[in-house]
Structure 1
């Protein structure tokens, strides 16, 4: 284990992305913050953050919560 100092932050995220992230965190039995940290740390090193089994679960959660956005939509979203 590595000791760290965490900071509370407000973060605006698309509604269905957040639902999938929360569902995935619950499935993995980790906090939402731990999930986001893990995704970021993997991305910073160019590594895939999820196992094939977890990717299957993500697809299921996306279907449940109606998430149709893809990586192609990143950085191009406009608020309503």
Structure 2
């Protein structure tokens, strides 16, 4: 069965994001040979449906990418982040 492509409209945005999170996302996107925006869209669409966006292999890659980026933040930190002065 062939899946039908769904036309969308993308917009340019000036989203600010923690630099180590961005570095980790870029590593994952490069490994999957996809754009950063495509990766973020996929993560969000999965999250909106309460589905995990990554399998075991990608989670292992993310763990290594987080080490490389020095990313020590967790989901528990998400509501505690504060811009450095």
TM-score normalised by length of structure 2: 0.92
Match of 1:52 among 35, 56, 66: 56
Report the counterpart of residue 12 of structure 1 in structure 2.
16
* TM-score, normalising length: structure 1: 0.97
Gaps of 5+ in 1: none
CA RMSD of aligned residues (A): 0.6
Runs of 4+ in 1 over 2 A off after TM superposition: none
Q: Which has the higher helix share?
A: 1
Q: Report Cα offsets for 1:12-64 as digits up to 9, x if no partner.
A: 11110000001110001000000000000000000000011000000000011
In 2, the alpha carbon distance for the partners of 1:12 and 1:32 equals 14
- Counterpart of 1:72 (choices 64, 70, 76) is 76
Point out the structure with max Rg over C-alpha: 2
Which runs of no fewer than 5 residues in structure 2 stay unpaired? none
1:66 to partner: Cα distance: 0.5
Shift of 1:9: 0.3
